[in-house]
Amino acid sequence: MNLDAILSRIDDDLDESLERLFAFLRIPSISTDPAYDAACRDAATWLNEDFAAMGFSSKVRPTTGKPMVLAKSNGSADGPTILFYGHYDVQPVDPLDLWEEDPFAPRLVTRADGTRMIVARGACDDKGQLMTFVEAVRAILNVEGRLPVPLTILIEGEEESGSPSLPAFLASAGDELRADAAFVCDTGMWDAETPAIALSLRGLVGEEITVRCANRDLHSGQFGGPARNPNHVLAQILADLHDADGRVAVPGFYDGVVEVPPETKANWDGLGLSAEAFLGPIGLSEPAGEKDRTVLEKVWARPTLEVNGMWGGYTGRGFKTVIPAEARAKVSFRLVGEQEPERLREAFRAFVRERVPADCSVEFAEHGGSPALTVPVDWPMLRLGQEALADEWGRPTAMVGMGGSIPIVHAFKHKLGMDSLMIGFALEDDNVHSPNEKYDLTSFHKGIRSWARVLAAL
């Protein structure tokens, strides 16, 4: 392949690539709100037509929810088969009054330092990210006439609402999707100048707890003291979940957790991220969690248990002296290593039940669960990606962990038997899921060039 010609084509066509991205961004494909169902179908249709125009065999595939787009190109038979995954749906825009302009009127904004950014809902998550790959594919086809490898592109429309239709689709279309490797773009850079490949994802377990005591809300002057208060009961249980050193106190919680190898820890230490630098931008300074662990250990390699929400009694305006009949909380665990989601769920529920007084009751609601995932460090695709990114950005590629979860990557591994090369160009300040979401123009431009280098290296 003539990589220089491909990269020159990407540079020359950047304005046209932006026009296509802006057309895509104008579609308000919010998956969580049924009012935008038609817009989601429009986004799927837009992608399908774009893929077909590039010569792909492409179809909009119906599901029980939002449609998928599945496109295929035979490419050269000499290289590995690749599945690329992205999503066309976006988060709601609320609160709308915090947006500086219409969220679905994409624009280029020039900062004081002369750098430029794309501002719109979906600019980064995930329309801008997935279009870096699509534009790289387009440039290769324009220059070479064919791709270096067989490629399947899967774009879903429910990632921001939990991907409810995806498991059934993977089960029914598995033979069409199976490949030697998956490429996933829903990740980010280490910093604005340093590319990164994600080696690990934490797993996730979600639980909702409801503690009930009296059979109705009570007047706190009439019943305060002798009547059990479920807010107190639940608050004490939640406080008991961690010990004085920040460790999770649920028995068996750390089963399957392994220590980070010394060479990996040294690698992370070399990235130079202090607790102050990590916490400062969010207005904090003192690290919480397990003592004697670095910030990157805590975020990438240690399990956590967090209270995401808690409520009970009167929370409206003014004041109401009430002892509520029930109190609720939402709790999530982030998993690492070989921790088993269902075993942890049962251990957590047993821990809570043991602390509920005899005349009170507790109920649980499950909110999903998936184990952690680690990419084998000796996987040849990692070296290929690492070298391709370093060539484009002019500095070594950071091999990082991720504190969050991407359930589709786990499904690719355990349902379809393939590892995922996780490369993205998002930055920490991209306001993902927030008002004024943005994507640096450099991220978009060099992201296209980076994917072209990865594909050429195949």
Q: Tens digit of pLDDT for each residue in 76-106?
A: 777 899 999 999 999 999 999 999 999 999 9
pLDDT of residue 431: 95
Q: What is the pTM of this model?
A: 0.86
Contact 147, 455 (CB under 8 A): yes
Angle at the Cα of 411 (from 37 to 78), degrees rounded to 5?
105
Amino acid at 187: T
pLDDT of residue 224: 96
Distance CA 135, CA 130 (A): 9
pLDDT digits (tens, 9 = 90+) for 137-153: 999 999 999 999 999 99
pLDDT of residue 249: 98
Q: 317 by DSSP, 3-state: which?
A: coil
CA quadruple 276, 435, 22, 40: dihedral, nearest 10? 120
Contacts of 407 (CB under 8 A, 6+ apart): 163, 204, 370
Distance CA 398, CA 197 (A): 6
Distance CA 33, CA 48 (A): 22
Residue closest to 454 by CA, chosen among 422, 409, 412 = 422
Distance CA 139, CA 11 (A): 10
Distance CA 180, CA 376 (A): 14
Total residue length of the chain: 458
Q: Which tokens is 206 given?
A: 């979600």
Residue closest to 85 by CA, chosen among 433, 453, 415 = 415
**DSSP designation for 270:** T
Beta-strand relationship, 181-184 and 203-212: unpaired
Cβ of 246: how many Cβ atoms within 10 Å?
A: 16
**DSSP designation for 397:** P
Contacts of 144 (CB under 8 A, 6+ apart): 1, 2, 6
pLDDT of residue 436: 98
Contact 72, 137 (CB under 8 A): no
CA quadruple 385, 386, 388, 394: dihedral, nearest 10? 160
Beta-strand relationship, 196-201 and 326-335: unpaired
**DSSP designation for 204:** E
Contacts of 165 (CB under 8 A, 6+ apart): 63, 64, 65, 66, 68, 156, 158
Per the DSSP assignment, residues forming a β-bridge with 156 are: 87
Q: Is 208 exposed, middle or buried (0-12, 13-18, 19+ CB in 10 A)?
A: middle
Q: Output the tens digit of pLDDT for each of the chain's 458 residues.
A: 999 999 999 999 999 999 999 999 999 999 999 999 999 999 999 999 999 999 999 999 999 999 999 999 998 777 899 999 999 999 999 999 999 999 999 999 999 999 999 999 999 999 999 999 999 999 999 999 999 999 999 999 999 988 999 999 999 999 999 999 999 999 999 999 999 999 999 999 999 999 999 999 999 999 999 999 999 999 999 999 999 999 999 999 999 999 988 888 888 888 999 999 999 989 999 999 999 899 999 999 999 999 999 999 999 999 999 999 999 999 999 999 999 999 999 999 999 999 999 999 999 999 888 889 999 889 999 999 999 999 999 999 999 999 888 888 989 998 999 999 999 999 999 999 999 999 999 999 999 999 999 999 99
Q: 448 by DSSP, 3-state: which?
A: helix
Three-state SS string across 24-65, please?
HHCCCCECCCHHHHHHHHHHHHHHHHHHHHCCCEEEEECCCC
Contact 422, 409 (CB under 8 A): yes
Q: Which tokens is 120 given?
A: 């719109």
Q: Which tokens is 270 given?
A: 């070399």
- Domains of the chain (ranges plus CATH)? 3-201+373-457 (3.40.630.10), 203-257+303-370 (3.30.70.360)
What sign does the dihedral 178-149-90-308 (CA atoms) show?
Answer: positive
Cβ of 60: how many Cβ atoms within 10 Å?
A: 16
pLDDT of residue 369: 85
pLDDT of residue 404: 84
Contact 197, 397 (CB under 8 A): yes
Residue closest to 235 by CA, chosen among 128, 131, 350, 352 = 352
Amino acid at 29: S
